[in-house]
Amino acid sequence: MKIVDYQESPTHKYDSEAAKGVTGRVVIGKEDQADNFCMRVFTVEPGGFTLRHTHDWEHEVFVHSGKGQVYRKGEWRDIQSGTVVFIPGNEEHQIKNRGEEDFVFVCLIPSGAPEI
C-alpha cells in the first residue's frame, strides 16, 4: 500500500500560450504497479488553463478545491470543489481556473494513455 500526500509527487509544469500555469503530478501509476488506470492531480493557478484538446481515451475528474470551468461543446460550464466530470473519449475539452485561489483536480486515465 502506498500512502502519500499528492504534493510530494514530482511535478510537471505547463506554461505556454496553449496551457498556462498548470502543474501536473502522477500520484498513482505504472511505477506503483497500477496496471488498469492512472491517477494524476493537476493544480491550475489563478488565470491558468489546460490545453484544449481531444484524444481517444476518457477522463474521470474530481474537483478537490477551488473554482473553475470546463469547456463542453462550445460553452464554458462552472465547476468547483466536489464536482465530478466524466469526459468520454474523443470529446474536446479544456479546464480553466475562474477563481482567486489555486484550482486543484484529480484526473484519471486508463492504462495505455500517456501518464502525463
Which H/E stretch holds residue 49? Answer: strand 37-49
Distance of alpha carbon 28 from alpha carbon 98, whole angstroms: 27
Q: Tell me the β-bridge partners of 93.
A: 53
What cell numbers appear for 68 in the block? 473553475
Stretch near a second copy under the rule CB under 8 A, chosen from 14-22, 24-32, 46-54, 94-102 = 24-32
Q: Does 44 bind a second copy (CB under 8 A)?
A: no
| Binding residues vs a second copy (CB under 8 A) | 1-7, 9, 27-28, 32-34, 36-37, 39, 41, 58, 60, 62, 64, 70, 72-73, 77, 79, 82-88, 91, 93, 106, 108, 110
